[in-house]
Amino acid sequence: MTDTDLSNVVLVTVDSLRADALGAYDDDRHTPVLDDLADRGTTFDRAFATGNWTPFSFPSILSSRPVFADNGRIGVEDATTLAEALSAAGFATAGFNAANGFLTSHWGYDDGFDEFEPFVASVGSSIYSKYLATHPTVEAWLQLATSPVRRFGSWLRGGTDERPFLDTSRMFDVEHAATDFIEDTEEPFFLWIHYMDAHTPYVPAPRYIREVSDGLLGTHRMIHAHTRTGLGWNVGDRTLRDLRTLYQAVVRQVDASVGRVLDSLEAAGVDDETAVVVAGDHGEEFQEHGHLAHYPKLYDELINVP
For 45-94, the pLDDT digits (tens) are 999 999 988 999 999 999 988 888 777 788 888 889 999 999 999 999 99
Full residue range of the structural domain in which residue 118 is found: 8-303
pLDDT value for 12: 98
CATH of the domain at 69: 3.40.720.10
Is 87 inside any structural domain? yes
d(Cα 207, Cα 255) in Å, to the nearest integer? Answer: 13
Percent of the chain clearing pLDDT 70 (strictly above): 77
d(Cα 194, Cα 100) in Å, to the nearest integer? Answer: 8
Is 53 inside any structural domain? yes
pLDDT value for 254: 96
Exposure of 294 in the CB half-sphere (CA atoms within 13 A) = 28
- C-beta separation of 192 from 95 below 8 A: yes
Total tally of structural domains belonging to the chain: 1
pTM: 0.84
Residue 260 neighbours by CB under 8 Å, 6+ apart: 175, 179
